[in-house]
């Protein structure tokens, strides 16, 4: 390995770390202030992955050339409008977008919305116009960090390291690692965050700490928003949110005259009205004038490609389907890249049935759960053998990938596969690989403050507690330290509070209106009573989740469901 060559961590994670080759080893780069010389356990696992070595067709190993020929023939013999192009987030480098260019020109059906941050993103966009995080320095310069529905120290461990000495407040139904490190933990009932945001706004007004100048000059609709907060008696929020009013008082004492940041995660928005919920939180922040302060701000999963010109863009009239509602069985050909929908998409039973009824091509680095149902598997080259640039959705630094290892000759990069297919079909060629990479590596994006914030003026959210019976549990999922979504070390337990009546190692069957599955119980005080917690990547959870799009953003709403748990003899 050549010393000082750079490698971007390709994993889907806020931190977007920069690694470099030092003394024949890959180390975290010290020049990148977020990476700060360290890489995480998932990066170590990635280096140990057993990557696919050969393409596979009908369970037989074949050469790369043969696999490309089969793919081309299949594409030529299929009506493009009966094919689906489906990508996930196995590698977040910009070069992953190469193949979308080909499939757009070819005429495949594409997906819209997301399995991840779509609802919350739309809520922020509706208020501020775009989903862009403030510069990371403003987080470092704040005194108090409110961690709202995000497992901050686990899912963005490097960003956390930059601010670990701050005072934290956590709002989460689970006693997460960051909740345990927090001065105040509001162990909120699931899907009541919009109520809490309204309550906090009401208190802010009572304490006279709204930012009148900011509201006057840079916002629209604050009066309407404030009116919504007055619709209910303050005490009524205590029962619905599960947050005692005394904690709200403590909170306002703690934040008085402090520089405040709010880091919001996926937890608040995995619901039908995810956009509205996020917008209520953003509206509370604006009520306090947080966005205009020189220190502090609101962070979410930002649009990492914001203000960049899409280097792969090509006009197309392709049909688009909402990603959680994809019915794989309705296509003659499905091309899946960098994704493991058998574990990651909602309604696993439907996903598997669909894949069984279609010709499935998996383009991935590893043999994942979805490859089980593939007719053709094409190995993607390792990230160590691909040039790339990694933009971040957590902060403004980017990471660069140079080639440090020769690619295995029976694997292919996304750019080379796209170029091969484009040539074969005589479509419009991509820009050169270097031109694309240089553009992303060298374009500097300046942070631009939004001009006007538009408050949410009407809130219409159907709470889950409304239809919840005493035997129902809320379904909660969250990321694990030792896995990256469906990759690496997977924990398949269901975690329950001791008050649930279940015991460690009980085998249970869990039902939802969408499906059923068996799990083994782990009991933990960290889980709020009436919640069932599963780590993301659990192979069974998505048997229980709705394959329906949310209200406005075409995205998944994994937690818009109530479940029942029964003891069972089978597993």
If binding is defined by CB under 5 A, does position 116 make contact with Mo ion? yes
By CB under 6 A, which span of 5-13, 232-240, 315-323, 474-482 interacts with ligand SF4?
Answer: 5-13
Phi, psi of 545 (to 5 degrees): -100, 155
Neighbours of 462 (CB within 10 A): 12
| Shortest separation between residue 335's beta carbon and ligand MGD, angstroms | 10
170 interacts with ligand SF4 by CB under 6 A:
no
Residue 530: which of 495, 556, 493 has the closest Cα?
Answer: 495
Residue 13 lies near ligand SF4 (rule: CB under 6 A): yes
Structure tokens at 184: 């105040």
CA distance 161 to 169: 16
Measured from the CB atom, the residue of 385 and 424 that comes closer to ligand MGD is: 385
Residue 37 per-residue DSSP state:
T
17 binds, among Mo ion, ligand SF4, ligand MGD, none (CB under 5 to 8 A by kind): ligand SF4
x-or-dash string of contact with ligand SF4, 460-489, rule CB under 6 A: ------------------------x-----
Inter-residue contact 187 to 163 (CB < 8 Å): no
- CB nearer to Mo ion: give 116 or 277: 116
- Reference 536, options 100, 39, 154, 10; nearest CA is 154
What part of residues 139-158 is at the interface with ligand SF4 (CB under 6 A)? 157-158
Candidate list 5, 7, 16, 142; residue touching ligand SF4; CB under 6 A: 16
Q: Which residues contact 107 (CB under 8 A, 6 or more apart)?
A: 80, 81, 83, 316, 318
Query: Does 339 help bind ligand MGD (rule: CB under 6 A)?
Result: yes
- Binding part of the chain for ligand SF4, among 15-23, 82-90, 237-245, 492-500 by CB under 6 A, reads 15-23
Contact window for Mo ion (CB under 5 A) among 27-35, 112-120, 151-159, 457-465: 112-120
Q: Does residue 415 belong to the site contacting ligand MGD (CB under 6 A)?
A: no
478 binds ligand MGD (CB under 6 A): yes
Scanning the structure block, which residue is given the tokens 């003026």?
457
Q: Which of 100, 460, 477, 544 is nearest to 313 (CA)?
A: 100
Closest by CA position to 541, among listed 369, 349, 358, 404: 349
User: Rule CB under 6 A: which of 149-168 touch ligand MGD?
Assistant: 149-151, 154-155
Q: How far apart are CA 560 and CA 552, in angstroms?
A: 14
What is the spatial distance between Cα 53 and Cα 359, in angstroms, rounded to a whole number?
22
**Total binding residues toward ligand MGD, as defined by CB under 6 A:** 60
Taking CB under 6 A as the binding criterion, the range among 138-146, 239-247, 284-292, 476-484 that sits at the site for ligand MGD is 476-484
Which residues are registered as beta bridge partners of 167?
Answer: 144
Residues between 264 and 283 that touch ligand MGD (CB under 6 A): 265-268
Taking CB under 6 A as the criterion, the residue among 7, 9, 13, 262 binding ligand MGD is 13
Contact call for residues 100 and 256 (beta carbons, < 8 A):
no
- Report the C-alpha gap between 430 and 417 in whole angstroms: 11
CB 414 within 8 A of CB 99: yes
Residues 35 to 94 in contact with ligand SF4, rule: CB under 6 A? 39-40, 42-43
| Residue 183 or 448 with smaller CB distance to ligand MGD | 183
- Binding span for ligand MGD by CB under 6 A among 121-129, 364-372, 396-404, 418-426: 364-372
Cα separation, 429 vs 27, in Å, equals: 36
* 322: nearest Cα among 557, 486, 44, 10: 557
Q: Any contact of residue 90 with ligand MGD (CB under 6 A)?
A: yes
Q: Rounded to an integer, what distance in angstroms lies between the CA atom of residue 316 and that of residue 419?
A: 18
Q: Using the minimum distance from each CB to ligand MGD, give the nearer residue, 189 or 358.
A: 189
Phi, psi (degrees; rounded to nearest 5) at 471: -95, 0
Q: Binding residues for ligand SF4, per CB under 6 A?
A: 9, 11, 13, 15-17, 39-40, 42-43, 157-158, 484
Give the interface with ligand MGD as residue ranges (CB under 6 A): 10, 12-14, 42, 88-91, 115-117, 148-151, 154-155, 171-174, 176, 188, 190-191, 193, 265-268, 337-340, 344, 363-366, 368, 380, 383, 476-481, 483-487, 536, 541-542, 545, 558-559
């Amino acid at each position: 390995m050549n010393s000082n060559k750079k490698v971007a961590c390709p994993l889907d994670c806020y931190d977007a770390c920069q690694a470099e080759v030092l003394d024949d080893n890959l180390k975290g780069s010290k020049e990148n202030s977020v990476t700060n010389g360290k890489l995480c356990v998932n990066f170590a696992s990635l280096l140990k992955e057993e990557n696919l070595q050969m393409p596979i067709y009908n369970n037989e190993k074949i050469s790369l050339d043969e696999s490309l020929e089969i793919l081309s023939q299949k594409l030529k013999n299929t009506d493009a409008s009966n094919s689906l192009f489906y990508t996930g987030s196995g590698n977040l480098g910009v070069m992953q977008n190469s193949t979308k260019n080909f499939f757009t020109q070819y005429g495949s059906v594409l997906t819209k919305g997301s399995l991840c941050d779509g609802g919350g993103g739309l809520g922020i966009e509706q208020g501020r116009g775009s989903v862009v995080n403030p510069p990371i320095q403003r987080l470092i310069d704040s005194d108090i960090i409110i961690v709202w529905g995000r497992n901050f120290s686990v899912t963005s461990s490097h960003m956390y390291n930059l601010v670990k000495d701050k005072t934290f407040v956590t709002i989460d139904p689970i006693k997460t690692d960051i909740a345990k490190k927090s001065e105040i933990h509001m162990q909120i009932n699931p899907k009541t965050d919009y109520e809490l945001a309204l309550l906090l706004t009401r208190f802010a007004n009572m304490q006279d700490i709204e930012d009148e100048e900011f509201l006057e000059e840079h916002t629209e609709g604050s009066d309407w928003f404030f009116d919504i907060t007055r619709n209910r008696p303050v005490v009524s929020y205590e029962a619905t949110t599960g947050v005692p009013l005394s904690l709200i008082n403590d909170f306002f004492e703690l934040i008085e005259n402090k520089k405040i940041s709010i880091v919001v995660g996926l937890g608040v928005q995995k619901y039908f009205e995810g956009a509205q919920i996020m917008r209520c939180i953003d509206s509370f922040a604006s009520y306090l004038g947080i966005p205009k302060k020189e220190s502090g701000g609101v962070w979410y999963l930002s649009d990492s490609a914001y203000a960049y010109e899409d280097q792969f863009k090509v006009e197309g009239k392709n049909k688009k389907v909402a990603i959680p509602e994809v019915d794989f069985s309705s296509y003659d050909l499905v091309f899946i890249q960098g994704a493991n929908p058998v574990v990651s998409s909602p309604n696993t039973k439907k996903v598997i049935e669909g894949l069984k009824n279609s010709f499935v091509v998996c383009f991935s680095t590893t043999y994942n759960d979805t490859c089980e149902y593939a007719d053709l598997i094409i190995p993607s080259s390792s990230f160590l053998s691909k040039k790339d640039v990694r933009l971040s959705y957590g902060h403004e630094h980017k990471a660069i990938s140079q080639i440090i290892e020769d690619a295995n000759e029976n694997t292919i990069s996304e750019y080379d596969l796209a170029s091969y297919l484009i040539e074969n079909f005589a479509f419009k060629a991509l820009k050169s690989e270097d031109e694309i990479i240089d553009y992303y590596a060298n374009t500097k994006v300046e942070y631009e403050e939004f001009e006007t914030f538009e408050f949410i003026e009407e809130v219409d959210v159907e709470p889950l507690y409304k239809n919840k019976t005493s035997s129902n549990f809320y379904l909660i999922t969250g990321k694990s330290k030792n896995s990256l979504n469906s990759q690496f070390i997977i924990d398949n337990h269901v975690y329950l509070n001791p008050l649930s009546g279940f015991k460690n190692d009980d085998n249970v069957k869990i039902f939802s209106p969408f499906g059923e599955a068996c799990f083994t119980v782990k009991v933990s005080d960290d889980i709020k009573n009436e919640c069932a917690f599963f780590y993301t990547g659990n192979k069974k959870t998505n048997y229980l989740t709705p394959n329906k799009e949310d209200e406005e953003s075409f995205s998944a709403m994994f937690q818009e469901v109530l479940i029942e748990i029964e003891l069972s003899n089978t597993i």
